[in-house]
Each structure stands twice: as C-alpha cells, then as structure tokens.
Amino acid sequence: MEHRLFRLISMLWVGSLLSLGFIAAPVIFLNNTTDAGTVAAQLFRIEAIIGVISALALILIGNRFVKSGIVDYKRVRWIVAVMLVCVLIGYFGLQPFMNSLRVAAQEAGTDFASLPYAQQFGILHGVSSAIYVIESLFGIVLVWRLPGAAPTKIVPKGKSARMAAKRARS
C-alpha cells in the first residue's frame, strides 16, 4: 500500500510541476496582460507548497522502505531530496526578491520594463527558470526510476539474516 502511495504522490507532484511550468504558465502570458505575472506567481506559490509537502512525504516513506531493507528506494530518495532543494532555492530563496521588485514596479505605477529593476528581475527570473527546469528533469528521472510493482527487499547479513531465516522456517 505504501508503495502505491509513494508512486501516486510522485506522479501527482511531477505532473503538476510539468503541467504548470510548461503548459499553464506559458498560456497565461499569451494574453500579454499586466496581471499575468501575478497570476503565474500565485500558481508557482501553490506549486512550491505542493512540492515541499510531497517531498517530505516521499522522503519519510522512502526512509521507511530503506530501513525495512527495500534498497530500490535509496536512489529515489536522493532524487526527491534534490527536487526539494530546487523548490527551496527556487521559490523560497529567489521568489521573495522577485516579488519585491514586482511590488516596487507596481508602487511606481510605471511599466516594469522601464524601471531600473528590470535587469535584476530578468536575471533572477532566468536563474529561477533554470532551477525549475532542473527540478522538472529530476522529476522525470524520479518517475522513470520508480520501483516496479514488487520492490526488491534485501535481507541484511549477520544476526538479522539468521533471525529472518528462522522466522521463514516457522
């Protein structure tokens, strides 16, 4: 059951990541409205919260699997950890600076491109976009590397192995 939950959470997170970043956000900007950036920022905020919650749940479940001897989740946990770092840096690290520049433009009441902050915003946006693409690529690798229907369980050597063999004979 936990194996299916792990797969479901992974696929929902990666699906939302890809659909927002590569479908929804570009479509929002097709209208060239001034509110497009604000709407996209709200969507990325929701995606960041989904990412943090999903990553924490996946890491907890993955740790339980690894502790119980299912080694298929060792690499998968690291992929999830890298994705979590991307969320933390990309959204919680860079977005506050981008939002402050956006607010400064709104308070000035002028076109954002004409403000001196536009270049800084562009650089931050580029870095943030690159981190999002990296997170998305790791998400694809995560889904690709998810263990099959029956994950492999390794019986530890030594005393634990003898106890497991003894339980199997009982």
Domain that includes residue 109, residue range: 2-169
Number of domains the chain is built from? 1
Q: What is the pLDDT of residues 92-147, one digit of tens each?
A: 999 999 888 877 777 877 666 777 778 888 899 999 999 999 999 999 999 999 98
Both tokens of 33, joined, read 């409205």
Q: What is the Cα–Cα distance from 52 to 84, expressed in whole angstroms?
A: 6
- Please tell me the least confidently modeled range out of 4-18, 56-70, 89-103, 111-125: 111-125
List residues bridging with 70 in a β-sheet.
153
DSSP string, 68-118: TTBTTHHHHHHHHHHHHHHHIIIIIIIHHHHHHHHHHHHHHTS-GGGSTTH
Q: For residue range 38-55, what is the model confidence (pLDDT) as tens digits?
A: 888 899 999 999 999 999
6: CB partners within 8 A, 6+ apart? 58, 61, 62, 65, 73, 146
